[in-house]
């Protein structure tokens, strides 16, 4: 399965700037493939990932890792509740999530060293520490690179928009960029633009248009060769596929969902985004990234959590339950993450500040065990205690469930093989 070349053979590959892969480099890459660490992708337990990202740094204490026995300045102003798994307690505003806790693993020992938003965000989207020497691709883009589209649905979709620059393609060609909806599914009259042919253009006329376009392009593309042209070509092909598939387009139509289901998820940003994410993975999307809320609660954390967590709770619990009922939870991994946690002690403005040393992520489905906690933080939620979970191992575990060996190398510009994740190990204890 894996031909191990002399590791030395490519130690000297160069650092080169720029993004994307030029055509020359692409051919070069083809030749060099024999030299880089290659693994075959395999049938993973997860067919899709729904990546729920809570930007700003959600407090682990006020969500998945309450410390009810810590002194009040650590414990914070909020209470915790029991779940349907004995011994696991969650924040009081996660009442519905508490009822599906048996489907979820709460990783309470996530840790990295980046206390700035953008750097922490980079870690959680790419599995790498930031390095301006190289732009790393997001997990979604890597998955787009590794697999073919299913049912003409874009493989990697961002709801409502690409949330940050690290959710993009990094050193990979821009052909692997996410598809951004461009509108919030919670908005009245939400539609994804430009999915259907304009008035007056039927399939026949559209195919004539395409024929003419091919003829016009032919002149130019025979004399010009560039990565940027290839990327445009790729997107046109994807667009044609999407436009010509009724089924694929319907996945974006949240109106087609029953009113009861919409109510159950909640007719708000959290609910609509998670419901649409379910429709998309059901239709064949592989990696759906959605964001919800703003969690940078330096001040008044009690108020902030009260404002935002209930809607998240309702939508998230509905999503887990809904996926489970449809038999999709087994093949869909739902990940909840944030760039870091928040300081152990409540600060002078009744909030908490940035804290990457330990925080929590929640994982469910797609081959992840349910009904447990993985790792733990210490009594004041300030350091990992058991099984510290680093970004590399966490990302490798997600890739593993999707059927990708994260030690595989992709070619970055300058003929430089880069592991999908550098040195990550799959955490077997997380796997069902």
Partner 1 sequence: MNYKRILILLCGLSFTFTSLLADEPAAPATEEAKPAEAKPAEPQPTPEAKPEEKPAEKPAEPAPVAPSEVKIFPPNVSLTTARDRQSVIVQAIYPDGITRDVTSEAKWTLANTELANFENFTLSPKADGETELTAEFAGLAVKAPVKIEKATEDRAISFKLDVMPVFMKGGCNTGSCHGAARGKDGFRLSLFGFDPNGDHFRLTHEISTRRINLAQPDRSLLVEKSIGTVPHTGGKRFTTESELNQTLIRWLEAGANNDPGEVPAVTSVELYPPAAVMDGEGSTQKLTVRANYADGTNRDVTHLAYFISANETSAEVSQEGEVTAGTRGEAFIMARFETHTVGSHFIVLPKGLQYEAPELAVNNYIDEHVNNKLKKLRIFPSELCTDEEFLRRVYLDIVGKLPTVAEYNNFIASDDPNKRAAVIDELLERKEFVEIWVMKWAELLQIRTIPNNVTYKSMLRYYDWLQSRIASNTPIDQMTRELLSANGGTFANAATNYYQAEQDTLKTAENVAQVFMGMRIQCAQCHNHPFDRWTMNDYYQFSAFFSQIGRKGGEDPRELIIYNAGGGEVKHPVTGQVMAPKFLGGATPDVAGKDRREVLANWLASPENPYFAKNLVNIVWAHFLGRGIIHEVDDVRVSNPPVNPELLDDMAQRFTEYNYDFKKLVRDICNSRTYQLATATNDSNKLDGTNFSHAALRRLRAEVMLDCISTVTETKNKFQGLPNGARAVQIADGNTSTYFLTTFGRAKRETVCACEVSVEPNLSQALHLINGETSNQKIQEGKLVEKRLAEGVSPQDVVTELYIRTLTRKPTDKEIAFLNEQIAAGGAPQQVLEDIFWALLNSREFLFNH
Q: Which is nearer to partner 1, 375 or 413 (CB)?
A: 413
Q: State the nearest-atom distance from the C-beta of 271 to partner 1, in Å.
A: 24
Q: Contact with partner 1 (CB under 8 A): which of 239, 328, 372, 426?
A: 239
Q: State the nearest-atom distance from the C-beta of 6 to partner 1, in Å.
A: 5
Q: Which is nearer to partner 1, 102 or 383 (CB)?
A: 383
**Residue with token string 């009113």:** 259
What is the C-alpha separation between 396 and 374, in angstroms, rounded? 16
Q: Which is nearer to partner 1, 66 or 417 (CB)?
A: 417
Residue 28 burial by Cβ neighbours in a 10 Å radius (0-12, 13-18, 19+): middle
Q: State the nearest-atom distance from the C-beta of 107 to partner 1, in Å.
A: 22
Q: Contact with partner 1 (CB under 8 A): which of 46, 50, 231, 420?
A: 231
Q: If binding is defined by CB under 8 A, does position 232 make contact with partner 1?
A: yes
What is the C-alpha separation between 39 and 41, in angstroms, rounded? 6
Query: Which residues from 78-137 bind partner 1, rule CB under 8 A?
Result: 113, 115, 129-134
User: Residue 374 is encoded by which pair of tokens?
Assistant: 């993985």
Q: State the nearest-atom distance from the C-beta of 126 to partner 1, in Å.
A: 14
Q: Contact with partner 1 (CB under 8 A): which of 45, 96, 240, 310?
A: 240
Q: Which is nearer to partner 1, 154 or 185 (CB)?
A: 154
Q: State the nearest-atom distance from the C-beta of 159 to partner 1, in Å.
A: 13
- SS percent in the chain: helix, strand, coil, step 5: 40, 15, 45
Q: Which is nearer to partner 1, 100 or 134 (CB)?
A: 134
What element of type H or E holds 89? strand 89-91
Query: Dihedral (C-alpha) 132, 136, 138, 141: value to the nearest 10 degrees?
Result: 140
Site string for partner 1, 191-220 (x = CB under 8 A): --xxxxxx--x---x--xx-xxx-xxx-xx
Q: State the nearest-atom distance from the C-beta of 105 to partner 1, in Å.
A: 28
Site string for partner 1, 243-272 (x = CB under 8 A): x-----------------------------
Q: Contact with partner 1 (CB under 8 A): which of 221, 245, 331, 387?
A: 221
What is the C-alpha separation between 138 and 140, in angstroms, rounded? 5
Buried b (16+ CB within 10 A) or exposed e, 39-54: eeeeebbbbbbbbbbb
Q: State the nearest-atom distance from the C-beta of 16 to partner 1, in Å.
A: 5
> Which residue, 81, 114, 55, 64, is CA-closest to 362?
64
Q: Contact with partner 1 (CB under 8 A): which of 39, 74, 190, 235?
A: 235
What is the C-alpha separation between 64 and 94, in angstroms, rounded? 9
Query: Which residues from 35-64 bind partner 1, rule CB under 8 A?
Result: 35
Query: Which residues from 141-170 bind partner 1, rule CB under 8 A?
Result: 154
Q: State the nearest-atom distance from the C-beta of 372 to partner 1, in Å.
A: 30
Instruction: Please say whether the beta carbons of 109 and 389 come within 8 A.
Output: yes
What element of type H or E holds 373? strand 372-374
Query: Which residues from 286-345 bind partner 1, rule CB under 8 A?
Result: none
Q: State the nearest-atom distance from the C-beta of 203 to partner 1, in Å.
A: 13
Which phi and psi angles does 134 have, rounded to 5°?
-150, 135
> Which residue, 286, 289, 285, is CA-closest to 273?
289
Q: State the nearest-atom distance from the C-beta of 261 to partner 1, in Å.
A: 27
Query: Which residues from 7-36 bind partner 1, rule CB under 8 A?
Result: 8-19, 22, 24-25, 28, 31-32, 34-35
What element of type H or E holds 359? strand 359-364
What is the C-alpha separation between 215 and 87, in angstroms, rounded? 67
* Size of residue set near partner 1 by CB under 8 A: 74
Residue 182: CB atoms within 10 Å: 12
Q: Contact with partner 1 (CB under 8 A): which of 43, 148, 202, 224?
A: 224
Instruction: Please say whether the beta carbons of 332 and 48 come within 8 A.
Output: yes
């Amino acid at each position: 399965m894996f031909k191990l070349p002399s590791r030395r053979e490519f130690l000297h590959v160069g650092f080169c700037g720029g993004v994307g892969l030029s055509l020359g480099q692409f051919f070069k890459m083809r030749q060099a493939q024999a030299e880089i660490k290659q693994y075959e992708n395999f049938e993973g337990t997860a067919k899709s990932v729904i990546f729920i990202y809570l930007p700003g740094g959600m407090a682990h204490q006020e969500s998945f890792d309450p410390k009810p026995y810590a002194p009040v300045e650590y414990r914070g102003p909020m209470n915790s509740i029991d779940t349907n798994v004995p011994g696991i307690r969650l924040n009081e505003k996660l009442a519905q999530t508490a009822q599906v806790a048996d489907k979820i693993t709460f990783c309470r020992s996530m840790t990295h060293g980046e206390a700035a938003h953008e750097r922490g965000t980079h870690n959680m989207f790419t599995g790498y520490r930031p390095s301006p020497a190289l732009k790393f691709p997001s997990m979604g883009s890597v998955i787009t690179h590794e697999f073919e589209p299913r049912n003409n649905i874009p493989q990697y979709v961002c709801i409502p928009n690409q949330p940050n620059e690290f959710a993009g393609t990094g050193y990979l060609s821009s052909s692997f960029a996410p598809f951004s909806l461009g509108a919030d599914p919670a908005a009245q009259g939400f539609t994804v633009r430009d999915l259907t042919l304009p008035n007056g253009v039927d399939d026949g006329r559209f195919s004539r248009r395409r024929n003419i376009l091919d003829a016009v392009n032919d002149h130019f593309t025979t004399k010009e060769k560039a990565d940027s042209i290839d990327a445009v070509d790729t997107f046109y092909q994807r667009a044609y596929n999407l436009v010509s598939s009724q089924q694929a387009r319907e996945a974006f139509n949240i109106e087609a969902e029953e009113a009861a289901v919409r109510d159950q998820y909640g007719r708000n940003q959290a609910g609509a985004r998670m419901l649409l994410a379910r429709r998309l993975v059901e239709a064949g999307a592989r990696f759906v990234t959605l964001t919800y809320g703003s969690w940078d609660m330096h001040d008044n954390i009690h108020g902030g959590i009260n404002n935002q967590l209930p809607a998240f709770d309702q939508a998230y619990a509905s999503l887990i339950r809904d996926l489970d009922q449809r038999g999709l939870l087994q093949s869909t991994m739902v990940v909840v993450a944030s760039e870091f946690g928040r300081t152990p002690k409540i600060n002078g403005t009744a909030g908490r500040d940035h804290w990457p040393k330990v925080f929590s992520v929640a994982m469910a489905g797609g081959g992840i065990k349910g009904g447990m906690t993985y790792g733990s933080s210490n009594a004041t939620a300030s350091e990992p205690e058991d099984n510290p979970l680093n970004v590399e191992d966490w990302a490798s575990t997600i890739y593993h469930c999707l059927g990708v060996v994260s030690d595989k190398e992709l070619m970055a510009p300058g003929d430089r093989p880069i592991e999908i994740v550098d040195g990550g190990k799959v955490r077997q204890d997380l796997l069902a």
